[in-house]
Amino acid sequence: MSRASTPTKTSTPVKPTAAASSVTPMIPAEKIAMRAYDKWCQRGQQDGNCIQNWLEAEKELMSECSKSMKK
């Protein structure tokens, strides 16, 4: 798994909360891929966890984004 293996430029929308504005920020797939790659490295580059790494990375980035929107 490498950082260069992200073929798409899709983004994941952050779900708005009740306090959030109507604007939904997008998290680029490249950012999620880089965070997932870091998780893969931290876990000893073990195969079989790519979906878990992606979902955890996506959740973390969404949380970080929503926290920064509240400021």
Give the structural domain span for 19.
8-70
Position 52 in a domain? yes
Contacts of residues 3-12 at CB distance under 8 Å and 24 or more positions apart, as own/partner, are 3/33, 3/34, 3/37, 5/33, 6/30, 6/33, 12/58, 12/62
Q: Is residue 2 part of a domain?
A: no
List, in sequence order, every residue forming a beta bridge with 71; answer none if it has no partner. Answer: none
The tally of domains found in the chain comes to: 1
| Residue 59: inside a domain | yes
On whether residue 1 sits in a domain, the answer given is no
- Classify residue 37: in a domain, yes or no: yes
In DSSP terms, 12 is beta-bridged to 27
For 37-59, the pLDDT digits (tens) are: 999 999 999 999 999 999 999 99
The per-residue pLDDT for 68 is 83
In a domain, 21, yes or no: yes
Which pTM does this prediction carry? 0.64
Over the stretch 7-46, which tens digit does the pLDDT of each residue have? 455 556 655 555 444 455 689 999 999 999 999 999 999 9
Query: Could you tell me if residue 62 is inside a domain?
Result: yes
Residue 36 counted as domain residue: yes
